[in-house]
Structure 1
Amino acid sequence: MIKTVEDINSLLKKHQEYRNSCLNLIASENYSSQTVRSYLNSDLGNRYGCYTTMNPEEREYTGNKYIHEIEMETHELMKEIFEVKYVDLRPIGGHMAGMATVLGILEPHDLVIEVSLEDWGHGLVGPMRLISHFGETIKVEYMKFDENRAVDVEALKKMALELKPKLIIFGGSGTLFPEPVSELRQIADEQGIILAYDASHVTGLIAGKVFPNPIKEGADIMFGSTHKSFPGPQGGFVVSNNKELIEKIGNALSPSLVTSHHLNRLPALAVSILEMKEFGYEYGEQTIKNSKALAKAMAKKGFNVLGEKKGFTESHLILVDVGEFVSEGPAKYLEKANILCSDDFSGASPQIRIGTSEVTRRGMKEEDMEQIAELFKRVLIDKEDVEIVAKDVEAISKKYLGLNYAF
């Protein structure tokens, strides 16, 4: 029980010591620099900056003179790094940004095509339909994937022509390869379909110019997170070159979903954007190299790594079917060995998702991926004592407590 400040400090110290002993391969996490983290500790954390979508200068609360300047300057940085005209930084997470996109664009009984949870989607419309009135007013279908975990382009084109959806949402939590946005642009124009891209996982790779920019590929809207492959503070964003759409989404976002949009993250986000401008390409390039190297090493050691015929991955993550070696709870079992990743049981066979963003920023290179693959093998294939493996994981992890690609 927490009774004093010292109790809180003790728990935080234990957390940091524990995490320093772990190999963090969770694809939805990253490690922000101390510079970024320091900017979260400002007076802005206690302030409100509410405004109407297209009139941010008309703040609902007084005392926003410099808050407005900070937010608008951060908008300009986002416009520059993603090469867009319009930005909304009020979502406090990528999922909220996606919810606002769906609610702002759709009308009753419109159809959405998105990535299903079974295919590592983020589950925007599907789970929303569990709420009765959304279930009655929003329809959803799911895009198909091929054997390499890439979107089946021809199948999606056929769906778009036959089903005539209002909205197609690309992207999810298991994005291995660039999505076929440009291939759907002509059909979207002909059918009046809006193309959105959930960039939550690949935001940092897009910012680093090592992954295709969906807006330049033809997406009408891009939304996502600022804390996954993008190494900033937790938060979300929406960007577009379409003023009408950004206004609709913004008006759905606020005040319905958020009023206080956690202003203290904006200076921290600005710093992380500056870091990405400086180091983004080098960081992104090494991250993808590490993903490919880890995938190849795990495949050689007997794992069923998805996407082999396409080179396994072009992003910060890999997907591995481990059903041959474990029937349930692979991520929880790996956690006992201080190896942190994510698992999925929605499909026919359990899969694990492994991300390389954080270990890349910590300084690991391709040669280190062989060592990581061996650790997975020792736990899942060789069934070695997890406590013994955990000691080796700790020894390796503590060699990489620095931080690259940052101020």
Structure 2
Amino acid sequence: MFSNITEIDELVNRHVLYRQNCLNLIASENCSSLAVRNHLTSDFGNRYGCYSTADPANREYRGNKYIHEFEMKTQDLVKDVFGAAYADLRPIGGHIAGVASVLGLLSPHDLVLEIHLRDWGHGLVTLMREASHLQESIRLEFIPFDEDRAVDLPGLLRMIHDLKPRMIIFGGSGMLWPEPIAEIKEIASREGIILVHDSSHVNGLIAGGVFPNPLQQGVDVMIGSTHKSFPGPQGGFILTNDGEIYKKIGNTLGASLVTSHHLQRLPALAVAMLEMKAFGKEYGTQVIKNSQALGRYMEEDGFRVIGSARGYSQTHLILVDVSEFGSGLEISKQLEKANILCSDDFGQLDRELRIGTAEVTRNGMREGDMKFIADCFRRIIIEKEEPGQVAEDIRGFTEHYRDCLYALK
């Protein structure tokens, strides 16, 4: 238990120092610039923004005229960056945005196709169905994938023909390649299938114009979070070009799922959006180059990298099958002892590591630096070197990469 502010500050500072000496390769994290962090502290954090979807100006709480102006301008900025007609920034995370989309657009017993957790899906409907009444009211099947962890388009088309789903949710936490949205848009429109894209992991790349924009490809709804490849504060959003869909999801979101939507994040989000407008293409291009270089170096060091025949990755991450060396979970724990932070596959197949390049790219690392990172994995996983020496080498390496690039000052 804390007894004074000094103790609080000391523990926070220990965390900061520790993370400075780590290689953060967690694909669902990123570093925010000083400009973004400085805009997380304001009087907004003590206010309520509860309002209806159709008329955000009609708020339940008084005294928000400037907050309303700020939120509308931030919505316009988000719509501009992502090419959307409508934006709802009330979700406090990508998962809440997804829950609102599913509940707002489906009827009882509709069938949803989503990505299985074993294929690094977010498990949106899977987790929703852990509530017994939702298990009874939402049917679920899974999108097929090939050995390169790309969507199996012929298999998906067969599922659409045979099962007649009401909704398909693309996007996952281990996304290596763009999904075949354009290829199924015509049949989806003809059959009345709602297309949703969970862009939580790739929306920083979408904002930079280096990954296909799902809205431009024809999805009905784009949902996501703002703190993965997109380097903003934690939060979520819902984007669409359909006014009726916007209202249905929004009226489900608030006030049943979200009332106060953490207004303090909006100034920081606006700054991050401006950073992506200014530097997004340069940043996103380097992220993908780093992913591909890391995949190549990992393969040279003796690892089986998923999708190597296709160039390893077109996103901010690579997937590595480490099953010949042991359990993915245990290996990730051993890597952590060496100050290497990455994700195992959350207990699904217990054989893969997900390694992200977004944060190290913002720290200033480029393709050549990926060789050092790959060698650190080799030293721990293959050569079974003691983690302490590797951690010490990483500490010396990261001293040169503590900036936050692609940022406004």
TM-score, length-normalised on structure 1?
0.99
* 2:103 partner SS: helix
- In the TM superposition, 1:6-17 aligns within 5 A as 6-17=6-17
Pairwise CA distance, 1:345: 5.3
Pairwise CA distance, 1:201: 0.1
Tell me, yes or no, if the aligned pair for 1:81 and 1:277 is still in contact at 8 Å.
yes
Residues 144-175 of structure 1: CA deviation (Å, up to 9, x unaligned): 10011000011111111111111000000000
Q: 1:51 matched to which residue of 2?
A: 51
Tell me, yes or no, if the aligned pair for 2:344 and 2:354 is still in contact at 8 Å.
yes
Tell me, yes or no, if the aligned pair for 2:344 and 2:350 is still in contact at 8 Å.
no
The separation in 1 between residues aligned to 2:158 and 2:190, in whole angstroms, is 14
Farther off after superposition, 42-51 or 339-348? 339-348
Q: 2:403 matched to which residue of 1?
A: 402
Q: Counterpart of 2:170 in structure 1: which amino acid?
A: F
Residue 360 of structure 2 is aligned to residue 359 of structure 1: yes
Q: 2:62 matched to which residue of 1?
A: 62
Residue 112 of structure 2 is aligned to residue 112 of structure 1: yes
- In the TM superposition, 1:381-392 aligns within 5 A as 381-392=382-393
Residue 213 of structure 2 is aligned to residue 209 of structure 1: no
The separation in 2 between residues aligned to 1:268 and 1:130, in whole angstroms, is 34
Farther off after superposition, 38-47 or 319-328? 319-328
How many residue pairs end up in the alignment?
A: 407
Q: 1:274 matched to which residue of 2?
A: 274
Pairwise CA distance, 1:112: 0.2
Pairwise CA distance, 1:331: 1.3
* 1:222 partner SS: strand
* 1:252 partner SS: helix
Residues 23-78 of structure 1: CA deviation (Å, up to 9, x unaligned): 10000000000110111100000000111001001111100100000000000001
Tell me, yes or no, if the aligned pair for 2:118 and 2:349 is still in contact at 8 Å.
no
The separation in 2 between residues aligned to 1:144 and 1:261, in whole angstroms, is 35
The separation in 2 between residues aligned to 1:322 and 1:88, in whole angstroms, is 40
* 1:113 partner SS: strand
Pairwise CA distance, 1:344: 1.1
Tell me, yes or no, if the aligned pair for 2:319 and 2:353 is still in contact at 8 Å.
yes
Residue 95 of structure 2 is aligned to residue 101 of structure 1: no
The separation in 1 between residues aligned to 2:79 and 2:359, in whole angstroms, is 25
Q: Counterpart of 2:274 in structure 1: which amino acid?
A: L
- In the TM superposition, 1:132-147 aligns within 5 A as 132-147=132-147
Residues 316-373 of structure 1: CA deviation (Å, up to 9, x unaligned): 0000010111224221111000000000154445100000000000000000001100
* 2:344 partner SS: strand
The alpha-carbon distance between structure 1 residues 129 and 19, as it changes in their structure 2 partners (threshold 3 A), is same
Tell me, yes or no, if the aligned pair for 1:181 and 1:214 is still in contact at 8 Å.
yes
Q: 1:178 matched to which residue of 2?
A: 178
- In the TM superposition, 1:366-381 aligns within 5 A as 366-381=367-382
The separation in 2 between residues aligned to 1:382 and 1:54, in whole angstroms, is 60
Tell me, yes or no, if the aligned pair for 1:322 and 1:350 is still in contact at 8 Å.
yes
Pairwise CA distance, 1:230: 0.2
Q: 1:41 matched to which residue of 2?
A: 41
Q: Counterpart of 1:392 in structure 2: which amino acid?
A: D
Pairwise CA distance, 1:13: 0.7
Q: 1:316 matched to which residue of 2?
A: 316
Tell me, yes or no, if the aligned pair for 1:161 and 1:187 is still in contact at 8 Å.
no
The separation in 1 between residues aligned to 2:11 and 2:282, in whole angstroms, is 35
Residue 18 of structure 2 is aligned to residue 25 of structure 1: no
Q: Counterpart of 2:212 in structure 1: which amino acid?
A: P
The separation in 2 between residues aligned to 1:366 and 1:322, in whole angstroms, is 23
Pairwise CA distance, 1:397: 1.3
Tell me, yes or no, if the aligned pair for 2:195 and 2:221 is still in contact at 8 Å.
yes
Q: Counterpart of 1:329 in structure 2: which amino acid?
A: E
Q: In percent, how many aligned pairs have the same letter?
A: 58
The separation in 1 between residues aligned to 2:152 and 2:335, in whole angstroms, is 32
Q: 1:336 matched to which residue of 2?
A: 337
The separation in 2 between residues aligned to 1:100 and 1:151, in whole angstroms, is 25
Tell me, yes or no, if the aligned pair for 2:117 and 2:348 is still in contact at 8 Å.
no
Residues 63-106 of structure 1: CA deviation (Å, up to 9, x unaligned): 01000000000000011000110000000001111111111111
* 1:36 partner SS: helix
Q: 1:164 matched to which residue of 2?
A: 164
The separation in 2 between residues aligned to 1:227 and 1:175, in whole angstroms, is 16
Q: Counterpart of 2:337 in structure 1: which amino acid?
A: K
The separation in 1 between residues aligned to 2:279 and 2:253, in whole angstroms, is 32
Q: 1:263 matched to which residue of 2?
A: 263
Structure 1 unmatched ranges of 5 or more = none
The separation in 1 between residues aligned to 2:72 and 2:250, in whole angstroms, is 15
The alpha-carbon distance between structure 1 residues 13 and 349, as it changes in their structure 2 partners (threshold 3 A), is closer
The separation in 1 between residues aligned to 2:47 and 2:372, in whole angstroms, is 47
* 1:69 partner SS: helix
The separation in 1 between residues aligned to 2:107 and 2:304, in whole angstroms, is 42
Tell me, yes or no, if the aligned pair for 1:121 and 1:174 is still in contact at 8 Å.
yes
* 1:141 partner SS: strand
Tell me, yes or no, if the aligned pair for 2:295 and 2:318 is still in contact at 8 Å.
yes
Tell me, yes or no, if the aligned pair for 1:220 and 1:242 is still in contact at 8 Å.
yes
Tell me, yes or no, if the aligned pair for 1:33 and 1:406 is still in contact at 8 Å.
yes
Q: Counterpart of 1:77 in structure 2: which amino acid?
A: L
Q: 1:231 matched to which residue of 2?
A: 231
Pairwise CA distance, 1:246: 1.2
